[in-house]
Structure 1
Amino acid sequence: MSRPDITTPTNRDQRAAARKNPLRWGVNYTPSEGWFHSWQDFDADAVRADFESIAKLGLDHVRIFPLWPLLQPNRSLIRPAGIADVGRVVDAAAEFGLDVSVDGLQGHLSSFDFLPSWVTSWHRRNIYTDPQVVDAEAQLIVALAAEVTSRPNVLGMTLGNETNQFAVARHPEQQVTSPAEMGEWFATLLAAARKAWPTGMHQHSFDDNAWFVDSCPVTPRHATSLGDVTTVHSWVFVAVARLFPQGHPARTLFADYLVQLADAYSNDPTRPIWLQEIGAPHPAVPVEGAADFLEQSLRPVLDTPNLWGVTWWCSHDVSRKLADFPELEYSLGLLDSERRVKPGGQRLAELIAAEKTNPTAPVWRSTALSFDPGDEATGVGRSVADPSGALFPAWLELTASGQKPALVRASQRENSRYLAARGITDVRNISDAHSSTHSGCQD
């Protein structure tokens, strides 16, 4: 995927052209029967029934999550039957007009870790830095790519779901790595995907620690320079719901803030941004308010010129028959575990239909708040953007005044070509916003 130099005079036109293609609308696929454990007892008919219920909402793609230990139970064994099942899911999606993005190393899902036994316990090895492990991971990426690349309804591959989870300090069995080593890991696996699947849209994903936590080895530079798109995962229960009370606009503007942050960190103003995960987690979002939260969270981002698409989390509720999930996981679906459409699913279907009829026009945000992210190589200093800091409340204050502010790194505030490419004409300091939001918003 080629990208123009940001100094070219046509760059603003290219940013506009990024939205000439229709915005993509999708969902992260959580099987209604057996959750992701269903990969162990693959039932093509159940998958088809799930995809039929998804397609009826007007969605055009799904993101799927084959489990790493089932695909590669031994470092030198990739199960052909497991890889074939991934292809069968892609084929089932095609029957209902759905494109598919495939995740590779799964990894971590909904608080559960899925690591193969050959990197745990007595065989514990670092999944990011051990040469033999990384080589095996690359082989799995290649095997998955080889299986699906020729199918017409595949989009590309995400290396895995929030792969930084294992490297952060809060993980009970942290895999220690550095930003430099993490960058090498991403580059190695993305290169493997690209070689095996030259035409795919390939990327990596991460939680918002990458944007906010100085010690996280995945940095904003990794997020916005490696892979074909920048992925954004927006979850209000992590920090925003603790800092801002129910009904505060911070909760429904958080996704837009993350999208603008992703835009600000990229040196390429045309780089696509994929809102790859966003959900309405209970109790941060009341069950009866999920539909409103969905619409109020998505509408602000739709005018972002380089937004590739929105992929809601998730398709179907986790069944109450399954134990030990965090409570919020049982109610995140657009449909319940019986494939019945919930109010959030109905609201999303209505929003998609409206956008197809009358798409939101791209808007260049002429006003931007400047921030200093510190050392971009290591990520030390990025915490300035954390919701508990000064930047987010200042950005909210500008939004409350009727503006739609962008964000810009301090290193770029004098770069006239860069600012022009993004349509920014007015760069302000955090103090200029005269923020009073934060002091009165805490629970």
Structure 2
Amino acid sequence: MGKYFGTDGFRGEANVVLTVEHAFKVGRFLGWYFGKEHKARIVIGKDTRRSSYMFEDALSAGLTASGADAYLLHVTTTPSVSYVVRTEDFDCGIMISASHNPFYDNGIKVINGMGHKMEAEVEEQIEAYIDGEIGELPLATRENIGRTVDYAAGRNRYIGHLISLATRSFKDTKIGLDCSNGSASSIAKSVFDALGAKTYVINSEPDGTNINTNCGSTHIEVLQAYVKEKKLDVGFAYDGDADRCIAVDENGNVVDGDLILYVCGKYLMEQGKLEGNTIVTTVMSNLGLYKACDKIGMKYEQTAVGDKYVYENMLENGYILGGEQSGHIIFSKHARTGDGILTSLMIMEVLMEKKTSLGRLTEEVKIYPQLLENVRVKDKKTARENPEVVKAVEAVAKELGSDGRILVRESGTEPLIRVMVEAATDEICAEQVKKVVDVIKAQGLCE
């Protein structure tokens, strides 16, 4: 991770951590960097946060000042920016979003010409420019000054692409969608309506400050209650920029990223379409997923947390399905990044083809209780490597044995140490997490 760019872009509270000056400089650098040999074409999308408009203007000003043309998709999803970049010959893309964070945060994700997250070396150069370590960049003049272009047509082409991927009509299927008052609000319903579903939508009226507020994939209990109340066949909840999906089965049970990987992976394996009979997971995936995979002969890889790392592993090894427990699922045949709406469509393909319910398909996975506690610390690396903390973690791991596990890691976006334990019962999880958290506090590592 760099000084500003974490695993999911440059993120923080708008005009506190991430300012318009930062956005302007990001635009200035990218416009110059990609415009050395031709007039750069860069596409920008944004979510529904109040500050997204401000950052869109600042980025556009920086890009055009450096001579690039900025194409505006307006309110759209992160995966739609990725799709447009790689299919319409843009030099790069920018998504303005802080994903599942509160409305007052925002972020800048830079997407390369292949449709996945920008290479670390380019992000490092952007950071150097922001900090004044690179000399002032030339300003474009006269006819070389860039322009902004309304490019809502790009978003519409993405919607058409999603509709084209469905292999079956969803006629007479009752589907619930929680759009998190975010990016999915402008796309998801039209896709499911076009495919014939009886679509029931909640949290699809963004006002700039209600994105992710008691809704979406981080507040799945809202959709759970809605699915049961309306007696729906299935429900899908997205996060603010719609690159995540968490599902709810017909009984109101949560189907997270691990279960989605199992359901879709098993289906693809049965079809002979799962490359290497392998799915790519992260270290946060549940032990229950791995035990279920072992039973059916489905292999798995583990990466660091972040869909960026999942995709790198998939790319390197030719795997076609990977993702995170949090709902970032990558179907590399169709996308280069997590795509919540696409994930919904892939789940629907399994349900329609197998003529069964999502609840039935997840029955064979016994998910282990899992407890994650975030501890705010002064310095993440110092806290994680503290000898007493290391000793406590090793003691817990030994005690759990093969019936559980402990994972202690640094947050990629906040000053937090994340302590996660999986075990046979919630009580064991709580007991073992407390042992490590108490040591962190006793060592004076907390903020």
- TM tier, shorter chain? under 0.3
TM-score relative to the length of structure 2: 0.27
Q: Comparing both chains, which one has the higher relative contact order based on Cα–Cα distances under 8 Å and sequence gaps of 6 or more?
A: 1
Q: Of the two, which has the highest radius of gyration?
A: 2
TM-score relative to the length of structure 1: 0.27
Query: Which structure shows the higher strand fraction?
Result: 2
